[in-house]
Structure 1
Amino acid sequence: MKKEFVVIGLGRFGGSICRALTELGMEVMAIDREEDKVNEFSSVAAHAVVADSTDESVLKSLGIRNFDHVIVAIGDDIQSSILTTLMLKELGVNKITVKAQNDYHEKIVRRIGADHVVHPERDMGRRIAHNIASSSVLDYLELSDEHSIVEIVANERLAGNSIIDLDIRAKYGINIVAIKRKNEIIVSPQANESIHRGDILIVIGADNDINRFEKRMLDD
């Protein structure tokens, strides 16, 4: 069944989410105070509306509580972001994701009921830093402030060893949860699984432990 989303705030972040959700075949209502931005997305989203999301009566008239998920992607106006989140919560919206400007902003919207909070600039910065710091790191996904999933290309130092030989869990406190090998994906690989050069290891663990592993086993 097609899910229905609302994206409030059509800046760079909100606009990209709106386009991506639409491309995935989702029903999207795009909302912004600025008419120019709304006009830009009138041919992208199923519905594009000029509206003030801090006005409870406006949100009610749009039937906001009937949507599956609302993304508050308001840019620099933290007050409007907080008020909008509060209104959505009071109206009984099922799921709310909020773009946060800083940790203080995140703390407030979480307290008033945001289900998920994202820091796109910070998170992308960390992702890029991991990618450029090591040629072996393909991708980096933050799970929380202290834990991540990382895709690592097996180098010569790792190749030819089995998972039990490397003893990664005991030495570094991290786990290999899957291995991508050409067109094959090995989920929950066995301890005796041998690692080949060029395998993509999907590793999960605490950031500090992953960093130790990268420095010890991946640094050129």
Structure 2
Amino acid sequence: MKKEFAVIGLGRFGGSICRTLAEQGVEVMGIDIDEERVDEYSTIASHAVVANTTDEKALKSLGIRNFDHVIVAIGDDIQASILTTIMLKELGVKKVTVKAQNDYHEKVLVKIGADHVVHPERDMGKRIANNIISNSVLDYLELSDEHSIVEIVASEKIHGHSILQLDVRAKYGINIVAIKRQDEIIVSPQANETIYEQDILIVIGADSDINRFERKVLS
């Protein structure tokens, strides 16, 4: 059976999620208190409804407990975000992902049972900052406070070296999990795989180890 999703809050963040899910052919219901936003997504989402999700009766009438995953993307109204999350969990929604405005908001969301909390503005800020400060970092995805997956452009300095010769796991404590080479993607490359200049290395590890690898091997 196909999973069904609901997105509560059709602002820039929630609207983007709703649109992307719909483009992937996924069943998604868009919910917002603003009628104009709902009208905008009426031809995009499988269903788009006007509802106040802090009203338990409104949530029940939508059959919200039947959705596999609900994303709470409510904008600046932290109270509405918290109340909605509480009711979703009380109604038995299997998975609830919530957008947090700040660290305090996140702590509350975790305590009341949110399954996953995201900070889109903060996380995007970190990605942009990492891209700005390094010419070799193309993209950055935070896995935890101290670990990330990073796309790094191979420099001339390591051109022609194999993964075994670089010995990145032993020397730097990181792993090269894939290599992008033009239109080709090499997943779980072998130790004898040769790295060429302009290859994109997808690296996973502790932030401090990735930074050390970048400074010593790529700069």
Shift of 1:194: 1.7
Q: Which amino acid aligns with 2:67?
A: F
The aligned residue for residue 102 of structure 1 is 102
What letter corresponds to residue 62 of structure 1 in structure 2? Answer: L
Note the alpha carbon deviations across 1:127-182, whole angstroms, 9 max, x for none: 11122222222211111222111111111011111112212122221111112223
User: Which position in structure 2 is the counterpart of 1:80?
Assistant: 80
More deviation in 135-144 or 6-15? 135-144
Query: Does 2:13 align with 1:13?
Result: yes
How do residues 17-56 of structure 1 correspond to structure 2 at under 5 angstroms?
A: 17-56=17-56
Identity of aligned residues (%): 77
Q: Which residue pairs with 1:112 in the alignment?
A: 112
Greater CA drift, 40-49 or 95-104? 40-49
In the alignment, is the contact (CA less than 8 A) between 1:155 and 1:218 conserved in 2?
A: yes
AA aligned opposite 1:114: A
Contact 1:134 1:218 (C-alpha < 8 Å) held by counterparts: no
Segments of structure 1 that go 5 or more residues without pairing to the other structure are none
Offset from partner CA, 1:157-215 (integer Å, 9 cap, x none): 11111112212122221111112223333222222222111211110001121122222
Q: How many corresponding residue pairs?
A: 219
Instruction: Measure, in 2, the Cα distance between the counterparts of 1:90 and 1:67.
Output: 14
- The one-letter code sitting in structure 1 at the alignment partner of 2:105 is H
Distance in 1 separating the partners of 2:28 and 2:187 = 34
Aligned residue number for residue 159 of structure 2: 159
Q: Does 1:89 align with 2:70?
A: no
1:126 matched to which residue of 2?
126
Corresponding residue for residue 169 of structure 2: 169
- 1:101 Cα deviation (Å)? 0.7
TM, length-normalised to structure 2? 0.95
Please give the secondary structure, in 2, of the residue aligned with 1:74: coil
SS state at 2:180 partner? strand
Between stretches 157-166 and 18-27, larger displacement belongs to 157-166
State the Cα RMSD in Å. 1.4
Equivalent residue, structure 1, for 2:141: 141
Q: Deviations over 1:39-58 (max 9, x none)?
A: 22112112111111111111
- Greater shift after overlay, 65-74 or 40-49? 40-49
Q: Partners of 2:211 and 2:120 in 1: how far apart?
A: 22
User: Which range is displaced more, 80-89 or 165-174?
Assistant: 165-174
| Residue aligned with 1:139, SS | strand
Q: Which amino acid aligns with 1:193?
A: E
2:16 is aligned with what amino acid? S
> Quick one: distance in 2 between partners of 1:131 and 1:57?
46
Deviations 1:64-103 (A, max 9, x none): 0101110000011111111110100000001110001111
| Contact 1:4/1:28 (<8 A) preserved | yes
Which TM-score applies when normalising by structure 1? 0.94
